[in-house]
Amino acid sequence: MAQSALVLGGGMVGVCTAWHLRERGYDVTLVERGVPGRETSYGNAGLIQREAVEPYPFPHDVLKLAQVALQRGNDVSYRLRDVLAVSPRLAQYWWNSFPSRYQISVAGYEALIRHCLIEHDRMILASGAGNLVARHGWKQIFRTVKGFDEGTAKALALTRRFGVESRILDSMELAREEPALKRTMTGAIYWESPYSVSDPGGLVGRYAASFTAGGGRILKGDARSLRTDGAGWCVDTVDGTVSGEQAVIALGPWSEVVTRMLGYRLPLFVKRGYHRHFGWKGTLNTPMIDAEAGVAMLPMALGLRVTTGAEFALRDAPLSTKQMDGSECLAREMLNLGDPVEATPWLGSRPCTVDMLPLIGQAPSHRGLWFHFGHAHQGFTLGPTTGRLCAELMNGEAPYIDPSPYRPSRFGRAAQA
Ligand SMILES: Cc1cc2nc3c(=O)[nH]c(=O)nc-3n(C[C@H](O)[C@H](O)[C@H](O)COP(=O)(O)OP(=O)(O)OC[C@H]3O[C@@H](n4cnc5c(N)ncnc54)[C@H](O)[C@@H]3O)c2cc1C
């Protein structure tokens, strides 16, 4: 008889895990409270980021810290009360960003990122989603000479160390390649290998449809009803209680709701982000991100999606329009945006861990339970890569990537229920 599994959460990470388990012949039920791919995996920048071999560290540069503390830039913002509430976790994040520890995280991150295009390609092909994906990279644009010089030096270092390809464009070359730009920029790094997706939630939906076409089941239900059931696990859905020998928690920024319920105190936090679409009628040859200023401009099916940098706030804290307003203003300096499509910005939360690496592996205190979350800034990129890894581990196969950097037990007592 086929082995059975429950996958909790229908974002990019959960859907890809379910897909890979189904490919191994498992009887898989994916349990989602809403519709797959409508939360964080919907609202992101839609980039499959082959270049993102280094996770975002906590800044250690005094000038940058002062700029963030004084809320001078638009790339990072925070709610003081919320930052205080998660300060022990942020302190661990800061600690893990010191160069020697950070390099350990970089090694673990790069080992995943290097597979992202190949693993997405398999799923794009299987799900017939090629029309949603453009394979022409994105441009990191700069407004200051200092930023451009630092950025290009870093890009060259990434090419030397990891073989990530990029092309440096000076101000004139950028203006020629992107004639829609109104403002003169200092230059750009053109990351040519990443993909961009015109409807990120739609891509997750296609992967989910490929999963069900292959015999998988998606049911509406609440992961908070997860409990043990004889030798396995069960959860309540609108179609009744369903069970599986194994269960995977893949609830993105809501994972902690269920892990806490089970007694774990994992060092997780979120970095929130916003987007809004504009009825822009122009043409961009690739998406563009001005990371220095904190704004991304992404041609998508619903219009030009403008996204923000990171907001340090609790997941369920009220929406603040400040950072989105700042990003809109910056984008208007560069493009004729047109009117907003939505009445209010979309808000989502990147699920982060204090060492910048996702958790992928067996729950230390529960048999047959698996953790698969914490993909932070690159869960849309990494879902197929870590979905395969998680399925291989659950199935007892030799994993294609060394799983040790992501094992939940690395957090010691916090990972014990
Ligand atoms: C502004 C912004 C830009 C970003 N840009 C990029 C990018 O360009 N590239 C990239 O790779 N990443 C990007 N990210 C990060 C990326 O979006 C996330 O890492 C990724 O979407 C996380 O996927 P997930 O499946 O873990 O979580 P989610 O997509 O949030 O999925 C979790 C699912 O769990 C479900 N759920 C929650 N609670 C319950 C419950 N009780 N019962 C049942 N179901 C439940 C939710 O409904 C949801 O569908 C960005 C994020 C933001 C915010």
Helix (H, G, I), strand (E, B) or coil at 324: helix
Look at residue 74 in the predicted model and tell me its pLDDT. Answer: 84
pLDDT value for 44: 98
State pLDDT tens for residues 93-142: 999 999 999 999 999 999 999 999 999 999 999 999 999 999 999 999 99
For residues 189-202, average pLDDT: 98
Positive or negative, the Cα torsion across 159, 165, 166, 167?
positive
| Tens-digit pLDDT profile for residues 99-113 | 999 999 999 999 999
Do 52 and 113 touch, CB atoms closer than 8 A? yes
Q: Edge to edge, what strands does the sheet with 133-134 contain? A: 47-48, 195-197, 133-134
Query: Who's near 179: CB < 8 A, 6+ residues apart?
Result: none
> Is residue 388 very low, low, confident or very high in pLDDT (cuts 50, 70, 90)?
very high
Q: Which residues line ligand 1 (CB under 6 A)?
A: 8-14, 31-34, 39-41, 43-47, 49, 222-224, 250-254, 273, 275, 307, 348, 350-351, 373, 375-381
Task: Choose among 264, 269, 238: nearest CA to 249.
Answer: 264
pLDDT of residue 159: 94
Average pLDDT score over residue span 384-409: 98
Place of tokens 């194994």: 246
Based on C-alpha coordinates, what's the Rg of the chain? 21
Integer angstrom CA distances of residue 307 from 59, 289, 292, 293, 359: 21, 9, 13, 12, 26
Q: How confident is the model at residue 24 (pLDDT cuts 50, 70, 90)?
A: very high
Is 90 exceeded by the pLDDT of residue 67?
no
Q: What's the pLDDT at 56?
A: 95
User: Residue 70: is its pLDDT beyond 80?
Assistant: no
For 224, the 3-state DSSP assignment is helix
Binned at pLDDT 50, 70 and 90, residue 61 comes out as confident
Confidence of residue 75 (pLDDT cuts 50, 70, 90): confident
Atom 28, ligand 1: residue with shortest CA distance: 11
Phi and psi dihedrals of 187, rounded to 5?
A: 165, -170
* Predicted local confidence at residue 262, as pLDDT: 97
- Tokens found for residue 410: 């690395």
Alpha-carbon separation of residue 159 from 112, 169, 342, 357 (angstroms): 17, 16, 39, 22
Q: Where are the alpha helices (DSSP H) in 235-362?
A: 255-261, 322-334
Mean pLDDT of the residues in the chain: 96
Average confidence (pLDDT) over 71-81: 86
Give me the numbers of helices (H) and strands (E) for the chain, helices first please: 13, 22
Give the torsion sign (CA, 155, 160, 164, 169): positive
7, 254, 353, 359, best to mutate for ligand 1 pocket (most atoms within 8 Å of CB): 254
User: And the tokens for 71?
Assistant: 């809320």
Mean pLDDT on 152-178: 96
Amino acid at 50: R
- List, for residues 295-333, the tens digit of each pLDDT value: 999 999 999 999 999 999 999 999 999 999 999 999 999
* Domain annotation for the chain: domains and CATH numbers: 1-57+98-130+194-265+355-417 (3.50.50.60)
Ligand 1 mean position, distance from CA 56 (Å): 17
Whether 371 and 360 have beta carbons less than 8 Å apart is answered as yes
Best mutation site among 15, 16, 41, 123 for ligand 1, i.e. most ligand atoms within 8 A of its Cβ? 41
How far apart, in whole angstroms, are the C-alpha atoms of residue 256 and residue 267?
A: 9
Taking the C-alpha atoms of residue 123 and residue 126, their distance in angstroms, rounded to an integer, is 5
What pLDDT does 278 receive? 97
C-alpha 384 to ligand 1 mean position (Å) = 14
Distance CA 329, CA 131 (A): 31
Q: Which band of pLDDT confidence, cut at 50, 70 and 90, is reported for residue 387?
A: very high
Three-class DSSP category at 5: strand
pLDDT of residue 332: 96
Ligand 1 center to 314 CA (angstroms): 15
Question: What is the structure's pLDDT at 395?
Answer: 98
CA distances (Å), 8 to each of 16, 251, 305, in order?
Answer: 12, 6, 29
Ligand 1 closest atom vs CA 223? 42
Looking at the chain, the whole-number percentage of residues with pLDDT higher than 90 is 91
Contact present, 356 and 106 (Cβ < 8 Å): no
Give the number of the atom of ligand 1 that is nearest the alpha carbon of residue 224. 41
Probe residue for ligand 1, chosen from 12, 40, 77 as the CB with the greatest number of ligand atoms within 8 Å: 40
Distance (Å, whole) CA 235 – CA 50 = 36
pLDDT, position 299: 97
pLDDT at 1 over 90: no
Tell me which residue has its CA closest to atom 1 in ligand 1: 273
What is the per-residue pLDDT across 214-242, written as a single tens digit (0 to 9) for each? 999 999 999 999 999 988 999 999 999 99
The pLDDT score that the predictor gives to residue 65 is 80
